[in-house]
Amino acid sequence: MTLLLLFNITNGLIVGAFYVLMALGLSLILNLSNVINFAHGGFLVLGGYIAYAITPYVGFWGALLLAPPLTAVIGLIVERLLIRPLYGRDPLYGLLLTFGLAFMIEDGTRFIWGAQGKPVAIPAFLAQPLSSDLFFITWYRLFMVVVVIVAIALLFLLLRYTRLGIRIRAGTLDLETVAALGINVQKLRSLNFAVGIFLAGLSGVLAAGQLGLDPTMGTNLLMPSFIAIIVGGLGSLPGTLIGGLLIGVAAGLTSVFFPAASEAVMYIMMAVVLLARPRGLFGEEGIMS
Protein backbone atom coordinates (compact mmCIF):
# COMPACT_ATOMS: atom_id res chain seq x y z
CA MET A 1 0.00 0.00 0.00
CA THR A 2 2.83 2.38 0.90
CA LEU A 3 4.43 1.57 -2.41
CA LEU A 4 1.16 2.23 -4.21
CA LEU A 5 0.85 5.63 -2.51
CA LEU A 6 4.44 6.47 -3.30
CA PHE A 7 3.90 5.50 -6.92
CA ASN A 8 0.83 7.69 -7.11
CA ILE A 9 2.55 10.68 -5.56
CA THR A 10 5.44 10.40 -8.02
CA ASN A 11 3.04 9.87 -10.86
CA GLY A 12 0.93 12.82 -9.69
CA LEU A 13 4.00 15.05 -9.79
CA ILE A 14 4.69 13.98 -13.38
CA VAL A 15 1.09 14.66 -14.42
CA GLY A 16 1.14 17.89 -12.43
CA ALA A 17 4.33 19.04 -14.15
CA PHE A 18 2.47 18.88 -17.42
CA TYR A 19 -0.46 20.92 -16.07
CA VAL A 20 2.06 23.47 -14.84
CA LEU A 21 3.52 23.95 -18.29
CA MET A 22 0.13 24.78 -19.68
CA ALA A 23 -1.01 26.81 -16.69
CA LEU A 24 2.13 28.99 -16.76
CA GLY A 25 1.33 30.17 -20.28
CA LEU A 26 -2.24 30.85 -19.27
CA SER A 27 -1.07 32.69 -16.17
CA LEU A 28 1.45 34.86 -18.05
CA ILE A 29 -1.20 36.06 -20.49
CA LEU A 30 -3.70 36.64 -17.72
CA ASN A 31 -1.26 38.64 -15.59
CA LEU A 32 -0.06 41.13 -18.16
CA SER A 33 -2.86 41.26 -20.71
CA ASN A 34 -5.85 40.51 -18.47
CA VAL A 35 -7.13 38.08 -21.04
CA ILE A 36 -8.60 34.85 -19.78
CA ASN A 37 -7.35 32.84 -22.69
CA PHE A 38 -10.04 30.31 -23.40
CA ALA A 39 -8.30 29.37 -26.61
CA HIS A 40 -5.23 28.14 -24.75
CA GLY A 41 -6.37 24.53 -25.18
CA GLY A 42 -6.92 25.28 -28.85
CA PHE A 43 -3.35 26.53 -29.24
CA LEU A 44 -2.16 23.37 -27.49
CA VAL A 45 -4.00 21.26 -30.07
CA LEU A 46 -2.62 23.44 -32.84
CA GLY A 47 0.92 22.90 -31.54
CA GLY A 48 0.34 19.15 -31.54
CA TYR A 49 -1.07 19.12 -35.07
CA ILE A 50 1.69 21.34 -36.42
CA ALA A 51 4.19 18.88 -34.94
CA TYR A 52 2.26 16.03 -36.57
CA ALA A 53 2.32 17.82 -39.92
CA ILE A 54 6.04 18.59 -39.94
CA THR A 55 7.30 15.36 -38.34
CA PRO A 56 7.62 13.58 -41.73
CA TYR A 57 10.06 16.28 -42.85
CA VAL A 58 11.99 17.18 -39.73
CA GLY A 59 11.49 14.17 -37.45
CA PHE A 60 10.30 14.14 -33.86
CA TRP A 61 13.12 16.28 -32.51
CA GLY A 62 12.79 18.82 -35.27
CA ALA A 63 9.07 19.02 -34.62
CA LEU A 64 9.67 19.49 -30.91
CA LEU A 65 11.94 22.43 -31.70
CA LEU A 66 9.90 23.99 -34.51
CA ALA A 67 6.25 23.47 -33.58
CA PRO A 68 6.19 25.66 -30.44
CA PRO A 69 7.70 28.76 -32.16
CA LEU A 70 5.38 28.23 -35.14
CA THR A 71 2.41 28.10 -32.76
CA ALA A 72 3.74 31.25 -31.08
CA VAL A 73 3.81 33.01 -34.46
CA ILE A 74 0.14 32.14 -34.99
CA GLY A 75 -0.49 33.39 -31.46
CA LEU A 76 1.28 36.63 -32.31
CA ILE A 77 -0.90 37.15 -35.37
CA VAL A 78 -4.05 36.40 -33.39
CA GLU A 79 -2.97 38.82 -30.68
CA ARG A 80 -2.22 41.59 -33.17
CA LEU A 81 -5.43 41.22 -35.18
CA LEU A 82 -8.03 40.14 -32.67
CA ILE A 83 -6.98 40.60 -29.09
CA ARG A 84 -5.20 43.94 -29.17
CA PRO A 85 -8.34 45.94 -30.01
CA LEU A 86 -9.95 44.59 -26.86
CA TYR A 87 -7.31 45.70 -24.34
CA GLY A 88 -8.75 48.16 -21.92
CA ARG A 89 -12.26 46.85 -22.27
CA ASP A 90 -14.00 44.64 -19.78
CA PRO A 91 -12.20 41.26 -19.58
CA LEU A 92 -15.45 39.63 -20.68
CA TYR A 93 -14.78 40.84 -24.24
CA GLY A 94 -11.48 39.01 -24.37
CA LEU A 95 -13.09 36.01 -22.77
CA LEU A 96 -15.87 35.86 -25.36
CA LEU A 97 -13.40 36.34 -28.19
CA THR A 98 -11.12 33.54 -27.05
CA PHE A 99 -14.16 31.38 -26.31
CA GLY A 100 -15.17 31.68 -29.97
CA LEU A 101 -11.59 31.24 -31.05
CA ALA A 102 -11.43 27.93 -29.17
CA PHE A 103 -14.32 26.62 -31.28
CA MET A 104 -12.78 27.93 -34.47
CA ILE A 105 -9.47 26.26 -33.75
CA GLU A 106 -11.14 22.97 -32.83
CA ASP A 107 -13.27 22.92 -35.96
CA GLY A 108 -10.37 24.25 -38.01
CA THR A 109 -8.14 21.34 -37.00
CA ARG A 110 -11.04 18.97 -37.64
CA PHE A 111 -11.51 20.49 -41.08
CA ILE A 112 -7.83 20.30 -42.00
CA TRP A 113 -6.77 17.04 -40.37
CA GLY A 114 -10.11 15.24 -39.96
CA ALA A 115 -12.20 14.29 -36.95
CA GLN A 116 -10.35 11.02 -36.56
CA GLY A 117 -7.47 11.05 -34.07
CA LYS A 118 -3.92 10.89 -35.42
CA PRO A 119 -1.20 8.56 -34.19
CA VAL A 120 1.98 10.37 -33.21
CA ALA A 121 5.04 8.18 -33.05
CA ILE A 122 7.85 8.98 -30.62
CA PRO A 123 11.41 7.62 -30.83
CA ALA A 124 11.35 3.96 -29.75
CA PHE A 125 13.83 4.36 -26.91
CA LEU A 126 11.62 7.00 -25.29
CA ALA A 127 8.57 4.74 -25.38
CA GLN A 128 10.05 2.36 -22.79
CA PRO A 129 9.66 2.32 -19.03
CA LEU A 130 12.80 2.85 -16.91
CA SER A 131 12.38 -0.57 -15.33
CA SER A 132 9.60 -3.08 -14.85
CA ASP A 133 9.18 -1.91 -11.25
CA LEU A 134 8.98 1.76 -12.17
CA PHE A 135 6.83 0.91 -15.16
CA PHE A 136 4.88 4.19 -15.03
CA ILE A 137 8.02 6.28 -15.51
CA THR A 138 8.79 5.98 -19.19
CA TRP A 139 11.81 7.71 -20.69
CA TYR A 140 9.35 9.91 -22.52
CA ARG A 141 7.63 11.06 -19.34
CA LEU A 142 11.00 11.65 -17.72
CA PHE A 143 12.06 13.62 -20.75
CA MET A 144 8.81 15.56 -20.52
CA VAL A 145 9.49 16.48 -16.92
CA VAL A 146 13.01 17.60 -17.84
CA VAL A 147 11.60 19.75 -20.65
CA VAL A 148 9.09 21.26 -18.22
CA ILE A 149 11.82 22.00 -15.66
CA VAL A 150 14.06 23.56 -18.30
CA ALA A 151 11.18 25.61 -19.69
CA ILE A 152 10.21 26.85 -16.23
CA ALA A 153 13.83 27.65 -15.35
CA LEU A 154 14.26 29.57 -18.60
CA LEU A 155 11.01 31.39 -18.05
CA PHE A 156 11.97 32.44 -14.52
CA LEU A 157 15.43 33.49 -15.68
CA LEU A 158 13.85 35.45 -18.50
CA LEU A 159 11.52 37.22 -16.11
CA ARG A 160 14.21 37.86 -13.54
CA TYR A 161 17.28 38.88 -15.53
CA THR A 162 16.33 40.06 -19.00
CA ARG A 163 15.11 43.48 -19.94
CA LEU A 164 11.96 41.99 -21.46
CA GLY A 165 11.26 39.97 -18.32
CA ILE A 166 11.76 42.89 -15.99
CA ARG A 167 9.43 44.97 -18.14
CA ILE A 168 6.80 42.22 -18.13
CA ARG A 169 6.96 42.05 -14.35
CA ALA A 170 6.89 45.81 -14.02
CA GLY A 171 3.99 46.00 -16.46
CA THR A 172 2.03 43.52 -14.39
CA LEU A 173 2.43 45.79 -11.39
CA ASP A 174 1.93 49.17 -12.99
CA LEU A 175 1.47 49.36 -16.71
CA GLU A 176 0.93 53.12 -16.75
CA THR A 177 4.30 53.93 -15.21
CA VAL A 178 6.01 51.46 -17.51
CA ALA A 179 4.43 53.24 -20.49
CA ALA A 180 5.40 56.64 -19.08
CA LEU A 181 8.99 55.46 -19.01
CA GLY A 182 8.86 55.15 -22.76
CA ILE A 183 8.45 51.44 -23.09
CA ASN A 184 6.31 50.22 -25.95
CA VAL A 185 3.54 48.50 -24.03
CA GLN A 186 1.84 47.08 -27.11
CA LYS A 187 5.02 45.30 -28.09
CA LEU A 188 5.50 44.09 -24.55
CA ARG A 189 2.04 42.55 -24.48
CA SER A 190 2.54 40.96 -27.88
CA LEU A 191 5.79 39.34 -26.83
CA ASN A 192 4.30 38.21 -23.54
CA PHE A 193 1.35 36.67 -25.39
CA ALA A 194 3.73 34.91 -27.75
CA VAL A 195 5.70 33.44 -24.83
CA GLY A 196 2.44 32.15 -23.33
CA ILE A 197 1.35 30.57 -26.61
CA PHE A 198 4.84 29.12 -27.06
CA LEU A 199 4.30 27.22 -23.81
CA ALA A 200 0.88 26.04 -25.05
CA GLY A 201 2.47 24.81 -28.29
CA LEU A 202 5.19 23.00 -26.35
CA SER A 203 2.55 21.35 -24.15
CA GLY A 204 0.75 20.28 -27.31
CA VAL A 205 3.77 18.55 -28.81
CA LEU A 206 4.53 16.80 -25.54
CA ALA A 207 0.92 15.72 -25.03
CA ALA A 208 0.67 14.42 -28.59
CA GLY A 209 3.63 12.12 -28.03
CA GLN A 210 2.10 10.64 -24.94
CA LEU A 211 -1.64 10.63 -25.56
CA GLY A 212 -2.13 10.95 -29.33
CA LEU A 213 -3.89 13.76 -31.16
CA ASP A 214 -7.55 14.60 -31.27
CA PRO A 215 -9.22 17.95 -32.10
CA THR A 216 -11.05 17.90 -28.76
CA MET A 217 -8.09 17.16 -26.50
CA GLY A 218 -7.52 20.83 -25.65
CA THR A 219 -10.74 21.16 -23.66
CA ASN A 220 -9.86 18.20 -21.45
CA LEU A 221 -6.44 19.62 -20.64
CA LEU A 222 -7.55 23.24 -20.20
CA MET A 223 -9.67 22.73 -17.08
CA PRO A 224 -6.91 21.39 -14.80
CA SER A 225 -4.77 24.37 -15.81
CA PHE A 226 -7.45 26.84 -14.79
CA ILE A 227 -7.78 25.06 -11.49
CA ALA A 228 -4.01 25.13 -11.01
CA ILE A 229 -4.04 28.91 -11.40
CA ILE A 230 -6.91 29.42 -8.99
CA VAL A 231 -5.50 27.07 -6.35
CA GLY A 232 -2.02 28.55 -6.71
CA GLY A 233 -3.27 32.09 -6.64
CA LEU A 234 -3.84 34.65 -9.38
CA GLY A 235 -0.84 36.67 -10.38
CA SER A 236 1.72 34.33 -8.88
CA LEU A 237 3.76 32.15 -11.22
CA PRO A 238 5.29 30.12 -8.36
CA GLY A 239 1.74 29.70 -7.09
CA THR A 240 0.72 28.30 -10.48
CA LEU A 241 3.65 25.92 -10.28
CA ILE A 242 2.67 24.62 -6.84
CA GLY A 243 -1.02 24.58 -7.78
CA GLY A 244 -0.37 22.38 -10.81
CA LEU A 245 1.73 19.90 -8.86
CA LEU A 246 -0.81 19.81 -6.01
CA ILE A 247 -3.80 18.94 -8.17
CA GLY A 248 -1.75 16.33 -10.04
CA VAL A 249 -0.85 14.58 -6.78
CA ALA A 250 -4.37 14.97 -5.35
CA ALA A 251 -5.93 13.40 -8.45
CA GLY A 252 -3.38 10.57 -8.36
CA LEU A 253 -3.95 9.78 -4.69
CA THR A 254 -7.72 9.87 -5.06
CA SER A 255 -7.53 7.30 -7.83
CA VAL A 256 -6.16 4.79 -5.26
CA PHE A 257 -9.20 5.03 -3.04
CA PHE A 258 -12.03 6.27 -5.22
CA PRO A 259 -11.07 6.37 -8.90
CA ALA A 260 -14.34 7.85 -10.12
CA ALA A 261 -13.73 10.98 -8.02
CA SER A 262 -10.20 11.66 -9.26
CA GLU A 263 -11.48 14.45 -11.47
CA ALA A 264 -13.94 15.80 -8.92
CA VAL A 265 -11.20 16.10 -6.29
CA MET A 266 -9.56 18.90 -8.27
CA TYR A 267 -12.76 20.92 -8.08
CA ILE A 268 -13.19 20.11 -4.40
CA MET A 269 -9.66 21.36 -3.78
CA MET A 270 -10.46 24.52 -5.66
CA ALA A 271 -13.59 25.04 -3.57
CA VAL A 272 -11.73 24.46 -0.31
CA VAL A 273 -8.94 26.86 -1.25
CA LEU A 274 -11.45 29.51 -2.31
CA LEU A 275 -13.35 29.19 0.97
CA ALA A 276 -10.31 29.18 3.22
CA ARG A 277 -8.09 31.56 1.28
CA PRO A 278 -9.97 33.23 -1.58
CA ARG A 279 -6.90 34.72 -3.25
CA GLY A 280 -5.38 31.26 -3.67
CA LEU A 281 -2.41 29.76 -1.86
CA PHE A 282 0.19 32.22 -3.14
CA GLY A 283 -2.08 34.93 -4.46
CA GLU A 284 -0.46 37.60 -2.34
CA GLU A 285 3.18 37.31 -3.00
CA GLY A 286 5.45 35.84 -5.65
CA ILE A 287 7.41 37.42 -8.43
CA MET A 288 4.42 38.63 -10.34
CA SER A 289 2.74 40.61 -7.62
Residues within window 208-247 making contact with other proteins, judged by CB under 8 A: 210-217, 219-224, 226-227, 229-230, 234
Nearer of residues 155 and 213 to other proteins, judged by Cβ: 213
Burial class (CB within 10 angstroms; exposed 0-12, middle 13-18, buried 19+) of 229: buried
Residue span 55-74 as binding mask against other proteins, x where in contact by CB under 8 A, dash where not: --------------------
**Segment near other proteins (CB under 8 A); pick from 46-54, 60-68, 99-107, 156-164:** 99-107
Measured CA to CA, the distance from residue 164 to residue 236 in angstroms comes to 18
Site for other proteins (CB under 8 A): which residue of 65, 85, 187, 268?
85
Letters for 130-169 (x = contact with other proteins by CB under 8 A, - = none) are: --x--xx-x-xx----------------------------
Q: Site for other proteins (CB under 8 A): which residue of 77, 103, 157, 173?
A: 103
In whole angstroms, give the CA distance from residue 96 to residue 101: 8
Minimum distance of other proteins from residue 157's CB (angstroms): 26
Closest distance to other proteins from the beta carbon of 69 (Å): 24
> To the nearest whole angstrom, how small is the minimum distance from the Cβ of residue 163 to other proteins?
20
The footprint of other proteins on residues 171-210 (CB under 8 A) is 175-176, 179, 185-186, 207, 210
Q: Which is nearer to other proteins, 69 or 170 (CB)?
A: 170
Cα Rg of the chain, angstroms: 19
* Minimum CB–partner distance for residue 103 and other proteins (Å): 5
Q: Do 81 and 170 contact (CB within 8 A), yes or no?
A: no
Residues 2-21 that bind other proteins (CB under 8 A): 4, 7-8, 11-12, 14-15, 18
Q: Based on the shown chain and the rule CB under 8 A, indicate whether residue 84 belongs to the binding site for other proteins.
A: yes
